[in-house]
Amino acid sequence: MGDQAVMNNDSDKKFECTINVEDTGAWKKKITIEIPRKEIDSALGTQYKELRRHAEVPGFRKGRAPQQLVEKRFGGEVKDQTKLRLLGQAFEIVEEKHSFEILGEPDFDPAAIELPATGDMHFEYEVEVRPEFELPELEGIKVEKPLIEVDKAKVDDAVLELCNRSGTTDTVDGPAKENDTVEADVTVIIKGVDEHEVLSGITLRVSKDGGAIAGVALEDLGKTLNGAKAGDTKKTKGTAPETHANEAYQNNEIKFEISVTSVKRMHPAELNKDFFAQLGVPGEEELRKYLEQDLEAKADKEVRQVMARQIDEYLDGKIDFELPVGVAARHSARVLQSRYYELLNMGIPQESVSENIEKLRASTGEQAIKELKRNIIMEDVVSKLEITVTDPEVNGWIYQIASQYDRRPEKVRDELQANGRLDELKSQIGMEKAIDKILEMAEVVDGPGDGGAKTAVKKRKTTKKTTKKIAQKAEDNKDGPDEKAPAKKTKKTVKRKASESDK
């Protein structure tokens, strides 16, 4: 038997219905609702009474048309409005009487429910709900603080990266080599699906580490593309993860036909007088000093990220709840957006951000589930620590992200607002503040350096303005193709980042 529930409506009358809630699996509940006939008749009567006062029926003055004529003329509309009103009242009671928090949208189609001509009204639907768990102690967590050395080898790598970013990109007639990029149109063939998808103008990197297309990991992608020329068609295949956002992909074999339209090759800039002049530095020695300062600033962020991951591992080990793969798939966009903001705030180059996101889309179900579990746990941590996020803090993050990629903060904010992502950004900021709070309360001990030994980070007074200026000039000098743009799908497309047309 269900619970008999009542609520006050606008006329201070009691609305009655019977609600029954039962568990139907991990994270799922089935809600069954019965609305008695007297409530249906009362709601219909109220609707018709209101309609008669305003309805205009030929041959009758306003408010004077007979009830039967009004019912004949407007019956369908009145029944639909009454049904929606009754459903709304029933949902309010469910929300008031039960404390579980619903995730996403209910598995429910109002159009499939009919208002019965006689008898009571019955309907049911399923919802996904947040798991209930207890947070462990958040004070005094033991955390190792890594000691990262900015050495000559890292500065050498930074110089090489800067030369690549400042280099030129040419279209080549010959075959693709490692580290080239390939422009292509990709036909996606899904097993069991007759209609194929086409990804137009997609950019793929020829890498020994493989890659991903449409959220499907392809370990042999680099090998497949190596040697490809414009006009060639290459084929590869992979299995989509169980957590893929597209249900047709999930755990299914996906074939890709890659029609190469062009091959691009990067030519790094040379360390010469003209290059130094473009960057606004006297010579290589000064350039290396500026890059070292930038690496030290990034090392601080890396240290914080390593410590934050230890907090995540602690919470993951202390909290155990079942998270079905299907739930992770349906909420994958939320996980991707959280990671996107995290990477942007770390100052990672935009093309690397896109590659990281694509790899996460193609990740195993286990990794996607772990990411979603972390988000759910951190939301409770934010609440327990009473973390709040102010508008100035949101604006500060937007300004920081915009400045790192030389974009106008107001443009970035407008795009986030238009895409409904400001709340997601605010949630991410809250989680980062919660991690900072836990680290303040943690027992921090020195950990090994990145070479295995305890090596201190060498510090100098940084000149962020000059370092940023050098980085920006490198971007200005880059005239290669825009590898940051996601593939354009002829069907559904998931927006993973804001437009960069204003750069």
CA distance linking residue 478 with residue 467, whole number of Å: 17
- Of 72, 50, 71, nearest to 62 by C-alpha is 50
Query: Within 10 A of 69 (CB to CB), how many other CB atoms are there?
Result: 14
Question: Hey, is 137 helix, strand or coil?
Answer: coil
What pLDDT, on a 0 to 100 scale, did the predictor assign at position 373?
A: 86
pTM of the model: 0.63
- Of 127, 104, 122, 98, nearest to 112 by C-alpha is 122
Counting every residue written for the chain, the total comes to 503
Task: Using the Cα atoms of residue 113, residue 114, residue 115 and residue 117 in order, give the sign of their dihedral.
Answer: negative
- Of 492, 490, 333, nearest to 424 by C-alpha is 333
Query: Within 10 A of 495 (CB to CB), how many other CB atoms are there?
Result: 12
CA distance linking residue 271 with residue 292, whole number of Å: 17
* pLDDT tens series, the chain, 503 aa: 455 555 544 445 678 889 999 988 777 889 999 999 999 989 888 877 776 666 666 656 565 556 666 566 666 777 888 888 898 888 888 888 887 877 766 767 788 888 888 999 999 988 888 888 899 999 999 999 998 889 999 999 999 989 988 889 999 999 999 989 999 999 999 988 888 999 999 999 999 888 889 888 898 999 999 999 999 999 999 998 877 878 888 889 999 999 999 999 999 999 999 999 988 999 999 999 999 998 998 898 889 999 999 999 999 999 988 776 666 666 666 666 666 666 666 556 655 666 666 666 666 556 667 778 888 899 999 999 999 999 999 999 888 878 776 778 888 888 878 877 788 889 889 999 999 999 999 999 988 765 444 434 444 444 444 555 565 555 555 544 333 333 333 333 333 333 333 43
- Of 166, 165, 174, 171, nearest to 183 by C-alpha is 171
In eight-state DSSP terms, residue 452 is S
| Amino acid identity, position 49 | K
Lookup: tokens for 273: 């007088």
- Of 44, 36, 40, 53, nearest to 71 by C-alpha is 44
Lookup: tokens for 228: 């490809």
For residue 450, what are the contacts with CB-CB under 8 A and spacing of at least 6?
A: 146, 148, 149
